[in-house]
A and B are shown apart, each in its own frame.
Chain A
Amino acid sequence: MNNAMLPEALKPLVAELQEALALEHKFVPNLQLISVSQEGGDITNGIRDGSAHVLRCLKVWYDLPADVLFTAINYMDCFLTKMRVKPKFMACISVACFQLACTVVPGVTVPDATDLVSISQCKCSASDLARMQSIISSKLGIHPDRPPITSATLLRLYHKLFTAVDASGLYSSVVEESSLHQHLEIIACDTSCANFRPSEIALVLICSQMDLGVARLSTPHPMITTLMTFATNLQHLCKITESNFYRCHEAVLCIMQRYHAQVQMPYRQRLVWRLSQRTLQYLRPTDKLTMTLPTIDEHGQLQLPVCARNKPRMTEEWEYLRKYKKLERRWRCVGMSTKYLGPP
């Protein structure tokens, strides 16, 4: 893309893009995680992805901008690139990255540490988090004035560029911005794309969305070629090689396929459901029920078990309610339910 050929409107955007591209390489991690840990001593892809999803939920919970999520995941991945850590520290690390991200993204109030510890169920203390923050911060050279360049940064820039050249309205008819960002979050939570450059991921995503959108058109649009050419020009400008583009494209498609196939989300967080003692006592009313009376058939005489005739009446048999195939309850005479998961 020749600068002289650019329309005036695009020049500032391209300048911004080039600035981002220049800094991009500083923020690309190189995660080398395994998929299954033999003795449970290593961080796996699954553990990393699970943590990313927790951060995503926290972002929603605290009503924070998406940049907090992308920044936090970036810090997490870069830290994991440099340090080999034990799984038991993962929760603390990811939440500390989240806190750091809050200090770096403009206009964000950092959530209260005690509140964050409690809500995220990260099982460490606020001071643990503070310590971890300083470790990560110094290890990565984090500076509030130098937020990382993430795929979200690039996506926004690309989107503005495409919109700026979209005289025909084709782009805006096939690509929806919020949908783009939504999908980008899903991609960020998947290790398979963690090591690609943000510029690669963002461009691949836009191209995939365009492909899908164009494929849905009833008649081919005359401006499709123009749009595709623009995408290719951007690819060259960003110096994205064909092979990288291809590999990234494969990975993104794979993630999107799984996502749209409504596959169960793996790596679900084992949540602790903390209840008060009073409520625990009365969780299921029939848990305390002692059934001593045999069922009386509506149309028949009561048949008493022979043993009941001679024994004192106190030791009659249990009568189980087994009509319902899904019933798995225990009929016991107990004081407390065992539904409480996790430490008090």
Chain B
Amino acid sequence: MHVVGIESGVSDAVTFVFCPVTVDVPAAEQEELFIRKLRQCSIVFDFMDPMSDLKGKEIKRATLHELVDYVTTGRGVLTEPVYPEIIKMISANLFRTLPPSENPDFDPEEDDPTLEAAWPHLTLVYELFLRFLESIDFQPTIGKKVIDQKFVLQLLDLFDSEDPRERDFLKTVLHRIYGKFLGLRAFIRKQINNIFLRFVYETEHFNGVGELLEILGSIINGFALPLKVEHKQFLVKVLIPLHKVKCLSLYHAQLAYCVVMFLGEVEEILDVIEPAQFTKIQEPLFRQLAKCVSSPHFQVAERALYFWNNEYIMSLIEENNQVIMPIMFPALYRISKEHWNQTIVALVYNVLKTFMEMNSKEKKKEKEREEMWKKLQELEISNKLKEANSKK
């Protein structure tokens, strides 16, 4: 059987017939056949209407599947003329305006997504794209002519897809592109920056933040030391602001959630911090922690108090007790007397007990711990008296 001619651009007039690329086909013809099949697959079908063109959709699906196998197992099949054809086919299928979300408050973490109707084809297109990029025969020097900045920009737009399967593919695709095309790296980083900044400061909506962050994770892991200024700036200007996207009042559940998550991150960072670095940040850190343990939002207080169950952090605190204790004690004392939540109060007791068991540099500091606790009690009493007097 041979391929029948196709009317391009008119989806319901397609009647192409399946033709396997077998080993009998001579090498020269293989390339031509490959290209023709790629062009066939550039026809996009309408999946919004489930009943239309069932036969054509099936033939395209089978062809795509065949092409995936061909690229995966074939040797020497990635000749130079084939590169632009593959990219054209991919562009035709993937680059589309994403439909507006049915749910304006869609949360990629929580809500059920609206899935891509054309997935039976899209998944194979992505698969093919990946096999192409990952092939041993893939040559970035040829590839860079067709995978350019414009292409990458369109790819990045797709990260806003609600379909997690699509985002997952995109994540791997972009990862491979970043990995293979050194010339595109700075551009990709800049574009991701822009997406995040728009997300933080303008739209507060983008579905692909998680996936982009994962790619960044693999990039950051590979950073050479010392870190370039550009990368440090990225941390300060982009990554940190990402934490404050939900700009709501302190007691809003989502922001509290973010604070709890952030405290978890801080603990993980402290896990690996050098003692010398710790002393540089300890004062602002514990001043903030003192506020957190005093938070009326019990989860925030809980998570902050739990820091004291970390052996390594405890050893750092012990070394610098004379600085940290005066910062923490007033907050701890106040909570022990006032907090409404019994779990929190129990955790404060644990923290006190831990402080008392500490092996401090000067033993007289221990006396200071107890005296401070007593002084704080006196302070509480005198404050209450002042309050009572001022009300008169």
Contact = CB atoms under 8 A, between A and B. Distances in A.
Given A60-B370, A295-B218, A329-B271, A302 B180 contact: yes
B298 interface: yes
B37 interface: no
A119 B363 CA distance: 26
A326 B271 contact: yes
Interface in B359-385: 359-361, 363-364, 366-367, 370-371, 373-374, 377
A286 B272 CA distance: 14
A279 B299 contact: yes
Contacts of A323: 221
Interface stretch (B44-52, B78-86, B170-178): B170-178
A179 to B, nearest CB: 7
B349 interface: yes
Interface in A311-330: 313, 319, 321, 323-324, 326-327, 329
A119 B361 contact: no
A132 B346 CA distance: 23
A26 B299 CA distance: 51
Contacts of A321: 221
A265 B309 contact: no
A263 B358 CA distance: 10
B377 A319 contact: no
Interface string B306-345: 1001001000000000000000000000001000001101
Contacts of A278: 299
A241 interface: no
Given A271-B350, A279-B260, A313-B172, A61 B336 contact: yes
Contact of B363 (A260, A293, A302): A260
B377 to A, nearest CB: 5
Interface stretch (B56-64, B90-98, B129-137): B129-137
Given A57-B352, A282-B257, A259 B218 contact: no
A221 interface: no
A218 interface: no
Interface stretch (B13-21, B150-158, B262-270): B262-270
Contacts of A182: 366-367, 370
Nearest to B126: A313
A276 interface: yes
B219 interface: yes
Interface in A94-136: 118-119, 121
Nearest to B174: A293
B342 A118 contact: yes
B54 interface: no
Interface string B170-194: 0110011011101000000000000
Contacts of A38: none
Nearest to A306: B136
A162 to B, nearest CB: 20
Interface in A166-208: 178-179, 182
Interface in B110-143: 127, 130, 134-136, 140
B67 interface: no
Contacts of A268: 357
B16 to A, nearest CB: 27
Interface in A271-323: 271-276, 278-279, 282-286, 291-299, 301-302, 304, 308-310, 313, 319, 321, 323
A39 interface: no
B347 A265 contact: no
Interface string B269-285: 00110000000000000
Interface string A43-74: 00000000001101100110100000000000
Contact of B175 (A61, A296, A299, A327): A296
B42 to A, nearest CB: 23
Interface in A324-344: 324, 326-327, 329, 339
A301 B179 contact: yes
Q: Is chain A's binding surface mostly helix, strand, loop or mixed?
A: loop
Contact of A295 (B222, B271, B361): B222
Contacts of A226: none
A285 B109 CA distance: 14
A264 B171 contact: no
A57 B180 contact: no
A233 interface: no
A178 B345 CA distance: 28
B304 to A, nearest CB: 10
A327 B222 contact: no
A37 interface: no
Given A60-B373, A179-B367, A313-B130, A262 B359 contact: yes
A273 B342 contact: no
B268 A60 contact: no
Contact of B347 (A61, A178, A269, A274): A274
Most central of B219, B221, B257 by chain A CB within 10 Å: B221
B302 interface: yes
B377 A63 contact: yes
A339 B357 CA distance: 21
Contact of A276 (B302, B312, B371): B302
B309 A262 contact: no
B200 to A, nearest CB: 19
B299 A296 contact: no
B261 A301 contact: no
B373 A295 contact: no
A205 to B, nearest CB: 15
A129 to B, nearest CB: 17
Given A273-B350, A326-B271, 18 more contacts: A60-B356, A61-B336, A63-B374, A262-B361, A262-B363, A263-B359, A265-B357, A273-B347, A275-B306, A276-B343, A291-B214, A296-B218, A301-B179, A301-B182, A302-B175, A313-B169, A321-B221, A324-B272
30 contacts: A53-B357, A57-B352, A57-B356, A60-B352, A61-B352, A118-B346, A121-B346, A179-B364, A262-B363, A263-B359, A265-B358, A274-B343, A274-B346, A275-B343, A282-B257, A282-B261, A284-B264, A284-B268, A292-B172, A293-B214, A296-B175, A298-B222, A299-B224, A302-B175, A313-B130, A319-B221, A326-B272, A326-B312, A327-B271, A329-B271
Q: What 4 A-B pairs come out closest when comparing CB atoms?
A: A302-B179, A293-B218, A324-B272, A295-B221
